[in-house]
Amino acid sequence: MASLRPRGSDDLGLRRALSDRLLPLLVAAMVFLAALAAAGAIAAAGLAAHWRGGAAAVLTIQVPQPQGRADAVAAVLAHMPGLTTRRLDAAELAELLRPWLGPDAAKLSLNLPAVFEVRADPAAAPPAQLLDAALQRAAPGTLVERNGAWFARLVALAGSLQACAALAVLLVACVGAAVVAVAARAGLAARRDSIEIVHGLGATHGMIASRFAGRVTLLALAGGLLGVAVAVPVLLGLASLMAPFQPQGLAVSQPDSPTALFKALPPMLWALLPALPAGAALIGWITTQITVRTWLARLP
């Protein structure tokens, strides 16, 4: 039985058959797109969690004709468990009304309602019906605005974005596997004569497939590392642009600081980025093994 020379040698001429230029660049493009899609999925999950813990738990209570009634509503809210209440002052009301009434809203002779911002702890807050009934008894006509309707839509939107991002990653993986398969078949066609000779002399399918898979795995790993190297600055740039829209505490206060730049991306994304080149290499190895073994099985 014939045996191929040690792995360091290139007895099949794979360095010429499998170029180290085109395939790594194609894999780099695939990994770059996968990194962007994964970042989008993680960002959507973070926004959904922020909405769930923030906006969904906020109630806005308006008390028309607040003389005498506002204190009664404040007393009801103070005795309700799981509620943190803050009454908006005149300056805050004027700022809210500025788009409609202009900068002098506070000077107008208007009987403005009292507005309370209430944060509810989902684990301890009273049922909505109980709170509404207590407010109506204390101050009939009190309006309670909840964010549940549009919050559910936002969560559904975030879920849709996550599903689209996962689908994009899957499509990128499939396209990457197809690119590797095409490259492997092109390499097989280019070295057909040499392969048929060593195959006829007794080289096993596994030996030949391992040589091709080893070469493709190295090229895919190099391309994956290049794709991640290109993706990181892009993701950091996007993170700096989105910092003002992030929850308080996540914004990059000093974008020039290496520590701040590192914290600009979620830890989950930093953990995922190194896995992308490894995933590209694994896809390259599996795809090449399947492609070469299938091709060899058809030889006479």
Q: What residues does each domain of the chain span? A: 14-52+161-297, 65-141
pLDDT tens digits along 54-105 = 555 678 888 887 787 888 888 888 888 888 888 888 778 777 777 666 666 5
Give the range among 55-64, 177-186, 259-268 with minimum mean pLDDT: 259-268
Give residue 11's pLDDT: 54
Give residue 231's pLDDT: 93
> What does pLDDT average to over the chain?
78
Provide mean pLDDT across the span 206-229: 88
pLDDT tens digits along 163-176 = 888 899 999 999 99
Give residue 249's pLDDT: 40
Give residue 253's pLDDT: 44
Nearest residue to 83 (alpha-carbon basis) of 130, 34, 31, 140: 130
Provide mean pLDDT across the span 224-234: 93
Give residue 1's pLDDT: 44
Give residue 100's pLDDT: 64
Provide mean pLDDT across the span 110-128: 77
Higher pLDDT, 286 or 259: 286
Give residue 243's pLDDT: 63
Higher pLDDT, 90 or 19: 90
Q: What percent of the chain has pLDDT over 90?
A: 17
Give residue 102's pLDDT: 64
d(CA 182, CA 258): 41
Q: Is the pLDDT of residue 199 over 80?
A: no
Q: Is the pLDDT of residue 126 over 60?
A: yes
